[in-house]
Amino acid sequence: MDLFSIPPRVCWWRIVFLLSIFQDYMSSMLDCPPTCRCSTTNIFCNESYQGNFFPLLALQDTVNDGNTTNSLPDLFENISSIHIENWSGLQTLRDVDMELYTGIQRLNIVNCNLRTIQSRAFAKNPYLRYINLSGNPLTTLSWQLFQNLQLFELKLEGVVFNCSCNIRWIQLWQQRGEAGLHNQHLFCNNGVFKIPLQRMNISHCDLPEISVSHSNLTVMEGDRVTITCNGSGVPVPEVDWTVGGLHSINTHQSNQYPPNVHSINLTLVNISRDDNSFMLTCIAENIVGMTNASIQLSVQCKCSFSCSLSLECLYIEPQCL
């Protein structure tokens, strides 16, 4: 007797149907990190945990019969919210920890032991709108972490920073009411006392100022031109022109003028008509923040003539697209 035989009354199409449902179910199952609860869109970890790694989802082994199933990147992309609480071993948020969660919108890391956030931790999270870092022993934080995000709210309550120029940007954001910081009671340690952040007074620490040599620039196709951008401030800012997408040949020359001016000359060579209406932007940034100024480039085409053997010439209107 064949132990693996199927009773005649069982229809094969029912077996195939049930197997396909089971495979789709298995293909979407996630291994949830320890002490966490997970759904297809959320990771919630609020139990005490000593692990020092950021929670990472894993896809369980699946059997694929060739049908389209959820891929591992798709499963990560669907995560829109991560909540981590009381993870005393989590001290560093690394550049690689968040890069798979490309669709995340809300991140809570609260009452953990977070001390350091690496510079590109949020570089792959363009939809991140809400970040809560409350109750962590952070002593400093850089604005550059958030420069490419459109934050609705950044919560920092219970964080006692070191009073320094490094957090002057938080004070400025709080004064301007950015990212909900004006509704929070923030503090820093001046080496003796814990004081309200708004009372911090750091000298020689402010946003850069910027100036450019032209407001608008009109040139002829094929010309050569040099424009200058000066960034000044303390700390002395980094200054540069952004030229991504520019067709004309370009060179940059940097000059430092004591005590606090950083100048960049941008030279355009053999200017292309394809750069007509191009917006040249100069950026100056230091640890306090960023300022910028722009120049619109107007490229005019050179006139041309078509002549016959009798030297009768026809003027052709220049056309710049």
Question: Looking at the chain, how many residues does it have?
Answer: 321
Is 95 a domain residue? Answer: yes
Q: What is the CA radius of gyration of the chain?
A: 29
Distance CA 173, CA 151 (A): 12
Q: Are residues 120 and 238 in the same domain?
A: no
Strand order in the sheet with 37-38: 37-38, 42-45, 81-85, 106-110, 130-132, 153-155
Task: Please name the amino acid found at residue 178.
Answer: E
Is 305 a domain residue? Answer: no
Q: Are residues 67 and 141 in the same domain?
A: yes
Q: Are residues 109 and 23 in the same domain?
A: yes
Tokens encoding 299: 């490229």
Q: Are residues 31 and 109 in the same domain?
A: yes
Q: Are strands 160-162 and 187-189 parallel, antiparallel or unpaired?
A: parallel
Is 184 a domain residue? Answer: no
Distance CA 159, CA 181 (A): 13
Which pLDDT score, from 0 to 100, does residue 25 have?
A: 37
Q: Are residues 26 and 147 in the same domain?
A: yes
Which pLDDT score, from 0 to 100, does residue 139 have?
A: 97
State the SS3 of 127-156: CCCEEECCCCCCCCCCHHHHCCCCCCEEEC
Residue 231's CATH number: 2.60.40.10
Q: Are residues 56 and 144 in the same domain?
A: yes
Is 198 a domain residue? Answer: no
Cβ-proximal residues to 280 (8 Å cutoff; 6+ apart), any chain? 217, 227, 241, 242, 243, 246, 266, 294, 295, 296, 297
Is 195 a domain residue? Answer: no
Is 121 a domain residue? Answer: yes
Nearest alpha carbon to residue 48 among 108, 136, 111: 111
Range of 253's domain? Answer: 209-300
Nearest alpha carbon to residue 299 among 285, 317, 319: 319
- Quickly tell me which residue has 């919630």 as its tokens: 44
Is 96 a domain residue? Answer: yes
Q: Are residues 24 and 149 in the same domain?
A: yes
Which pLDDT score, from 0 to 100, does residue 317 have?
A: 52
Name the domain boundary from 155, 189, 220: 155
Residue 73's CATH number: 3.80.10.10
Task: Domain count for the chain, please give it.
Answer: 2
Which pLDDT score, from 0 to 100, does residue 63 have?
A: 39
The DSSP letter of residue 22 is H
Is 7 a domain residue? Answer: no
Distance CA 286, CA 175 (A): 19
Tell me the mean pLDDT per 10 residues along the chain, length 321.
44 40 40 86 91 73 45 83 95 94 97 96 97 98 96 97 98 96 96 95 95 91 95 96 93 93 96 94 97 94 58 51 49
